[in-house]
Structure 1
Amino acid sequence: MLQTEVPLPLAQKSYTRVSSIDIVRGLAIVIMALDHVRDLWHTTSLVQDPLSFETTTPALFLTRWITHFCAPTFVFLAGTSAYLSYKKHGDAGRAQKFLLSRGLWLMVLEVTVIGFGIWFDIQFRTVMLQVIFAIGVGFVVLALLLRLPSRVIGGIGAAILLLHNLLPQVGPAETMAGKFLYSLLFRQGFFPFEGGPAVLVAYPLLPWMSLLLLGYSFGEVVRKDAVSRQKTLYLLGFAMLAVFMVLRVFNLYGEPNPWAPQTSTAFTILSFFNVTKYPPSLQFSLFFLGVMVVLLALLNTTNIAVTRFFATYGRVPMFFYLLHWYLIHTSMFVMVLAQGVKWEDLPFGMMKFGRPEEGVGVELPYVYLVWMAVVLLLYPACRWYSRYKAAHPEKKWLSYL
């Protein structure tokens, strides 16, 4: 506990801390759903990269780019929530057991329930290790580090974030096992193992773990009184954005994808902000975490209808995450069948969503309509589950969803 913290009444301290985190996390998860609707519903999602200036449009680029805000926010705030949960009861042993069990649970959930929701393949021919798996591993590592001072844990995270861009894109290992291990730790990779499932390492563990460890240390800021917290958040957030601007303007360290003049002013601006997510480069992390911290400052004590709406999702992020994949994917089948494709012609298998790559889908305006429908349809369920969790703190299993 910080020695300089100004005492506050418990209700006020809990409200200002939890609500701002829930609002930002809820905003992130709503934006995330847009990307997944685009993945499964958009006409060109399976054949074109929305960030490629050769084929994209500004609207499509921004539809994909804005969702980069989501993953670093989830991972970072997962670490912050772990810190706040630990400090709430102050029992290191209890916190370590919870982090270990929750981390292992998230890893299993990723390759089973979530994996099926993404691919709808009963044979599980594709195993994708993405953000939930990375958070799960991060929790396990955090459990091992938990008895260290929070600033030391944050320092470890900062060192990884600052240095991982020095590593080569492809590791030195010659064997498949060595390449897989290097990819698992540092770089995205795809591994179609003979006689087994294909493994897509979408979120390399160490770069994303660095954000979780930084988020844990960030918990010290969140526990300050409202006035001090807001001031610190603004200073930290704008400082991160300023460092990003200096590094990006001059194409300095921390980003393998330098910006360059494009065929139009709009694309040149988009090139400037087109930073690397896989794995999260230093410049990527500075920008999107900077935006997140500024939002936390802006929403420090806000309590209006709009923020309560987003906070509903932010209080039950895993519940929303599980439901939204199944709703989006099921509705995709309805769309494809309505467009004349027969069920027996749907492609299932390695890296297949169960829809033809071309000839089906909807244009971008309809993607936004479907996205809004998904978010609104899940609101009653999220509100019910949020209230149920709050009313039954004695049911420990609820904390795993």
Structure 2
Amino acid sequence: MNRITTIDVMRGLVMVIMALDHVRDLLHSTALTQSPTDLATTTTPLFLTRWITHLCAPTFVFLSGTSAYLVLSKKQHADSARRFLRKRGVVLILLELTVINFAFWFDIQFRSMLLQVIYAIGGGFIILSLLSKLSVKQVGIIGLIIIAGHNLLQLVPPIENPTGKFISSLFFQVNFFQLTPGFAVLVAYPLIPWLGIMLVGYAFGATMEQPMNVRKPLLLRYALVSLTLFVVIRFINLYGDPAPWAVQKSPLFTFLSFINVTKYPPSLQYDLLMLGIALLILWLADGADNVLTRALTVYGKVPMFYYILHWYAVHLLMIAMTLIQGYGFADIQAGTLNFGRPAGAGVDLEVVCLVWLGLVVVLYPLCRWYGRYKPAHPEIGILRYI
């Protein structure tokens, strides 16, 4: 299968931006005490540093669906391709529960379990492997129904039964569960809202396999439709996001309120805005060949390798920062949903940005090496999943 470089460029871009969010989470001085999108306490630079990273997860999930379509459409044996998709979904969930969660917490006792985007993609692949027996149009319609309708769940009374609440949260709602005194689970990416994005991305694959002169106008059209729908629905302020916008202390902060959409779980308005921006960038990147696009392609070809590596690197940087600031290893205590960072440790936002840029630069040669090593060693089966 010939790779569509535009997808690698876009995926690389969001992987680079994603690292900014995680560096800020672990190193920024106010990350433990202040929400960067709380308009009562945030600053414009801090808000935008967090907001721009909202682009990452939906784009990555969307393009995961697109890549699944491109794989399935090129395979002569669809059943074997679906089995691979299911196996990859299982492997991703296992990675989330083990390698990735250890990167989050550095806790050998695994007292915390955070279900994030890799869990959502893995579960989405499993379901998509079954739904892909339907027509592409039918899969896309199911995805659109989920995206447009899942905010109706706000009207459903919460489930009180602990078991039912836990199971429903895995699929529909963000929730925290202290299952035992020494073990907690945070479901941050419930499966179904993200599945809707993946299914629409799967249907979008039919557009991406078109010749560039056909798909490029379609990319712009889809982007403008998505962004226009966002503006109209957001302005009406009645449906599509649990956090309506409101007039603030200044026109700038009113604008920030307007674009301050809900990610956990992704609302209709969040999907329209972020996917609209992603489609617009895809349109701009399609056919572009320059230093930037070639560099982004290096990251975009090995997203899982980059994702795992950057989490370990960011956590090690947090430990290094803590020690440099005068704390000892005894002050770095892992625990339930605790990165181990002492409350007084942290750096300013400018330093966060410098560390982020340095991290991205350091990871570049490693990603370039792995991008060459993986296709050169097809006999190593596990590399197909990382």
* Residue number among 139, 144, 161 corresponding to 2:130 in the alignment: 144
Instruction: Give the alignment partner of residue 351 of structure 2, picking from 366, 369, 391.
Output: 366
Paired residues of 1:92 and 1:146 also in contact (CA < 8 A) = no
187, 211, 217: which is aligned to 1:201? 187
In the alignment, the residues of structure 2 paired with residue 206 and residue 196 of structure 1 have an alpha-carbon distance, to the nearest angstrom, of: 28
Q: Which moved more, 1:256-265 or 1:389-398?
A: 389-398
1:221 Cα deviation from its structure 2 partner: 0.5
TM-score normalized by the length of structure 2 = 0.97
Q: Which residue among 227, 243, 247 is the counterpart of 1:241?
A: 227
Q: Is the Cα–Cα contact under 8 Å of residues 68 and 277 in structure 1 kept in the other structure?
A: yes
5+ residue gaps, structure 2, are: none
Partner of residue 303 from structure 2, selected from 292, 317, 337: 317
Residue 133 and residue 171 in structure 1: after superposition, are their counterparts in 2 closer, same or farther (change >3 A)? farther
Secondary structure at the aligned position of 1:68 is classed as helix
Question: Are the equivalent residues in 2 in contact too, given 1:75–1:212 (CA < 8 A)?
Answer: yes
Secondary structure of 1:377 counterpart: helix
Aligned residue for 1:168, secondary structure, equals helix
Work out the CA distance in 2 between the residues paired with 1:292 and 1:379: 23
Question: For 1:323 and 1:54, how far apart are their aligned partners in 2?
Answer: 35
Cross-structure match for 1:387 = 372
Query: What is the aligned residue count?
Result: 386
- Give, in angstroms, the shift of residue 300 of structure 1: 1.1
SS at match of 1:242: helix
Whole-angstrom distance in 2 between the partners of 1:380 and 1:297: 28
Indicate whether 1:334 and 2:312 are aligned. Answer: no
Which residue, 81, 89, 92 being the options, matches 1:95? 81
Segments of structure 1 that go 5 or more residues without pairing to the other structure are 1-9
Q: Could you say if the C-alpha distance between residues 90 and 185 of structure 1 is closer, same or farther in structure 2, counting changes exceeding 3 Å?
A: same
Report sequence identity in percent: 52
The question of whether the paired residues in 1 share the 8 Å contact of 2:182 and 2:336 is answered with no
**Residue in 2 aligned with 1:120?**
106
Aligned to 2:273, which of 287, 290, 309?
Answer: 287
Contact 1:171 1:182 in 2 (8 A): no
What is the rounded CA distance, in whole Å, between the counterparts of 1:296 and 1:121 in structure 2? 39
Aligned partner of 2:115 in structure 1 is: 129
Tell me how far 1:309 sits from its aligned partner.
0.4
Check the 8 A contact 1:169/1:187 in 2, yes or no: no
Residue 63 (1) aligns with residue 49 (2): yes
Distance (whole Å) between structure 1 residues aligned to residue 157 and residue 103 of structure 2: 32
AA aligned opposite 1:382: C
Shift in Å, 1:389: 2.0
* One of 157, 178, 199 as aligned partner of 1:213: 199
1:400 correspondence with 2:385: yes
The one-letter code matched in structure 2 to 1:207 is P
Question: What corresponds to 2:360 in structure 1?
Answer: 375
Distance 2:204 2:56 in 1: 18
What SS does the aligned partner of 1:190 have? Answer: strand
Q: Equivalents in 2 of 1:74, 1:107: separation in Å?
A: 16
Could you state the TM-score of these two structures normalised by the residue count of structure 1? 0.94
Report the AA paired with residue 368 of structure 1: C
Match for residue 164 of structure 2?
Answer: 178
Distance, in Å, in 1 between the alignment partners of 2:110 and 2:287 is: 45
Task: Please tell me whether residue 352 in structure 1 is matched to residue 338 in structure 2.
Answer: yes
User: How far has the Cα of 1:170 moved from its partner?
Assistant: 6.9
| Distance (whole Å) between structure 1 residues aligned to residue 64 and residue 197 of structure 2 | 9
Aligned to 1:256, which of 242, 246, 250?
242
Separation (CA, whole Å) in 2 of partners of 1:260 and 1:192: 35
C-alpha separation in 1, matches of 2:172 and 2:323: 40
Q: Over aligned residue pairs, what C-alpha RMSD do you find?
A: 1.3
Q: How far apart are residue 151 of structure 1 and its match?
A: 1.1
The 5 A counterparts of 1:261-280 are 261-280=247-266
